[in-house]
Amino acid sequence: MESGIIRTEYSELMQKSYIDYAMSVIIARALPDVRDGLKPVQRRTLYDMYELGIRYDKPYRKSARIVGDTMGKYHPHGDSSIYEALVVMAQDFKKGLPLVDGHGNFGSIEGDGAAAMRYTEARLQKITQEAYLADLDKDVVDFVPNFDETEKEPLVLPVKVPNLLVNGAEGIAVGMATSIPPHNLGETIDGVIAYMKNPDITTEEMMRYVKGPDFPTGGIVANKDELLSIYETGMGKIKVRGKVEIEKGKGGKERLVITEIPYTMIGANIGKFLNDIYSLVESKKTADIVDITNQSSKEGIRIVLDLKKGANVEELENLLYKKTKLEDTFGVNMLSVADGRPETMGLIPIIRHHVNFQYEIATRKYRTLLAKEKEKKEIQEGLIAACDVIDLIIEILRGSKNIKDARACLTNGVTEPIAFKSKTSERMAKQLHFTERQTGAILDMHLYRLIGLEIEALMKEHEETLKRIAQYEDILSNRTSMAKVIIKELQAFQKEYARPRRTAIDNLKEAVVTEKAIEERDVVFLMDRFGYAKTIDPSVYERNKETADAENRYIFTCKNTDKIAIFTNRGLLHLLKVMDLPYGKFRDKGTPIDNISNYDSKEERFLYVCSLEQLAERRVLFATGHAMLKQVDGKEFVVAKKTTAATKLGEGDELLLAAALDGNETIVMRSKKEMFLRIACETIPEKKKMAAGVRGMKLDGDDELQAVYLLSEGEEQTAEVKGKEIVLNRLHIGNRDTKGVRK
């Protein structure tokens, strides 16, 4: 038993297993093959549709049937991944060249999902059948066993157009990702032909043909000069803008109409774009937009912004480019599987791999065709020769006892078992040497083939066969001839399926937005006990002071350019801009703090709210449930982050008090066992914000602080203990880190 145990280092085993898993995800799932530009799930789905006979000229079939058959035969990774791949291949707003013809709800550009697979139907597109799946019966690619070795599937599809560039690719593997933009079919074919004519072509020269990405959603590539570097290295960032048109409205007003969107805005980002415009209006970044309507339909994108009279259109356009997704970045990483391993390639290497693949499949195709024509030639020559001695062949057949004797005579001239009418016939029969294939064709020949016209047709067919053999041999032996055939086929696809470019390529100036200087003024911050906050003018507050003081928990004056600091029991500091708070009428409800900051009302509670500008000039006192105390310089909380740790808390500890100090305060610590200790704040040392602090009170056993009271000089506070009121200001001031007194 001991000898059957293999001992190995655990780290080595984990490393090997993880590498195997990573390579499986990279090669067999997430990345496309450079030759056909398809991921395994896409390749298997298309091949299954081809095998099921769901052709472009045949009726649609249920998507559920396609998905089930693909999963059962070739792709055992769950139906959702197969259906998602099928849906994307049918969406003309995602693919430059849709490969599947979808019937039913296959989703929308605005992010609506496709209907369930039991409702939708699909079939192959014509180009998919002609340029992606043709010639599979001519041994042009290798076939491998499927996952359970009950079927055969192609290792790669014999795709005749540069699909990796035409349709692009997106995929996240383990430790790497691919992001290839789609390109124009006609331009890409021109690029392939140019490379075939001049393999030493440079990237700059190639870009005369392949000018840049051509997104299905149109738009404008704004950094034309950077494309050369991107196509040389296979990596970079493409700036994409939506297309904006200006239309005249009623009463001399104008409106901005967005007719094309960046490719990155497809889906939920359209909704986010509209929300971003609403935010610009609400935050008063622009006052030129009167109304927003999304009039998009199947005919295309149409988002209309109605503007007020005299609006600065150019400035508004720049604001949209700068502050919304109307200008976005498409990250390019042209990573694909080449020769069995992932590789990042530029434009020329991708085209080189594609052209080499075209030569390979053309070589295999014409070898297969040549073999078939040579076989046909052999049979035709046998039949022609048989017509010249047809009387002898009939005599042999009539004199034979069985088919075996007749076959032996025709093939090897064996005449012994056959009864001939004359010795001359027997001598002639001994000279017959037809091949096995010719003999089979002669024995299967119908008598009508002896008609004169049929013999002429056979002779003509033989001549055609000889021409094809010469043509195929020329193609196989002469690379120039093969190149002409490939180019001719590419040009035929280009003529039938190429469409005009949708995306404009240009060098555009970066959008510049001049922020209007905010007029600094005093405002009064109000927040009620439910966390609704707002700001009002100081004069409004003075007129409603009594009501405001009664209804609100936090009230203080601050600048409209300031930030509000919110300390919570979890030891966090949340910052929010005063400008983000609604400003206006006293009776307005305000906005929940949760909506404009990272504060979570379900997990946290307020301890202290103040102006950050005023906080920076003071020291902040912290006290926790474990009786840890410290003072922190308020300047440490002037940070850019919206949320930061205000103090360090031990395990199970909670912040009980956070407050800015003026100078002569005392604090009273009250434990759950009703022990009280009053100390002067000046005895508490100043620490950094992430320091734990010092112990303020000795606690017995499992006792901890219940509350901490901050007492200002001259202010009287009381606390109720066992039904009695205690005046905290009258407690004796003791020493820090003592037990205190029981009440």
pLDDT tens sequence across 76-91 = 988 999 999 999 999 9
Residue with more model confidence, 722 or 513 = 722
Identify the CATH class of 243-325: alpha beta
CATH code reported for the domain at 522-742: 2.120.10.90
Q: What does the buried/exposed string (b/e) look like for 404-429 if buried means 16 or more CB atoms within 10 Å of the residue's CB?
A: ebbbbbbbebbbeebebeeeebbebb
Q: Angle at Cα 262 formed by Cα 111 and Cα 310, nearest 5°? A: 105
Res. 282 pLDDT band, cuts 50 70 90: confident
Cα distance between residue 412 and residue 352, in whole Å: 52
Domain ranges in the chain with CATH number 1.10.268.10: 354-495
Which pLDDT does position 576 carry in this prediction? 92
Quick one: three-class SS letters along 471-533? HHHHHHHCHHHHHHHHHHHHHHHHHHHCCCCCCEECECCCCCCCCCCCCCCEEEEEEECCCEE
Per-residue pLDDT band for 22 (boundaries 50, 70, 90) equals low
Q: What is the pTM of this model?
A: 0.74
Reading the block at residue 506, the tokens are 């240009």
pLDDT at 514: 62
Task: For residue 546, give Cα distances in angstroms to 556, 583, 590.
Answer: 14, 20, 18
pLDDT of residue 1: 45
* Amino acid type, 96: G
**For range 490-518, the mean pLDDT:** 85
Highest mean pLDDT among 76-80, 172-176, 460-464, 492-496: 492-496
Q: Report pLDDT digits (tens) over 283-308.
A: 778 888 989 999 988 888 999 999 98
pLDDT-based confidence at residue 249 (cuts at 50, 70, 90)? confident
What CATH number belongs to 38-158? 3.90.199.10
What mean pLDDT is predicted for residues 87-97?
A: 94
Query: How does residue 225 score in pLDDT terms, banded at 50, 70 and 90?
Result: very high
Count of CB atoms situated within 10 Å of the CB of 588: 13
State pLDDT tens for residues 704-743.
Answer: 999 999 998 878 889 988 888 889 888 899 999 998 898 7
Tokens 């070795």 belong to residue:
149
Question: Does 26 have pLDDT greater than 80?
Answer: no
Q: What residues contact 155, with CB distance under 8 A and at least 6 apart?
A: 141, 142, 143, 144
For residues 213-220, give the mean pLDDT: 95
Give me the pLDDT at residue 430, please: 86
**Four-point Cα dihedral 100, 101, 106, 108, nearest 10:** 90
Most confident of 82-91, 388-397, 525-534, 718-727: 82-91
Inform me whether the pLDDT recorded for 358 exceeds 80.
yes
pLDDT band at 390 (very low <50, low <70, confident <90, very high): confident
CB distance 442 to 390 below 8 Å? no
Q: Is the pLDDT of residue 700 over 90?
A: no
Q: Whole-angstrom Cα distance, residue 663 to residue 619? A: 9
Q: What is the pLDDT of residue 138?
A: 93
Q: Is 73 helix (H, G, I), strand (E, B) or coil?
A: helix
**pLDDT surpasses 90 at 134:** yes
Mean pLDDT of the chain: 90
> Taking a C-beta distance cutoff of 8 angstroms, is the pair 218, 266 a contact?
no
| Number of C-beta neighbours around residue 294 at 10 A | 15
Q: Which CATH architecture has domain 354-495?
A: Orthogonal Bundle (1.10)
- Over pLDDT 70: what percentage of the chain? 97
Q: Which residue has the higher pLDDT, 248 or 504?
A: 504
Q: Which two tokens stand for residue 478?
A: 């002469």
Task: Please indicate whether residue 216 or residue 418 has the higher confidence score (pLDDT).
Answer: 216
Q: Determine the pLDDT at residue 395.
A: 85
Mean pLDDT of 423-446: 86
Q: Is the pLDDT of residue 28 over 70?
A: no
Beta-strand relationship, 504-505 and 220-221: parallel
Residue that wins the pLDDT comparison between 268 and 151 = 151
- Helical (H) or strand (E) element with 195: helix 185-197
The boundaries of every CATH 2.120.10.90 domain in the chain are 522-742
Average pLDDT over every residue of 545-552: 91
The identity of residue 20, as a single letter, is D
- Give span(s): CATH 3.30.1360.40, the chain: 243-325
**pLDDT tens digits, 378-387:** 988 888 888 8
Radius of gyration (Cα) for the chain, nearest Å? 41
Average pLDDT over residues 64-82: 94
Residues taking part in catalysis: 119
3-state secondary structure of 379: helix
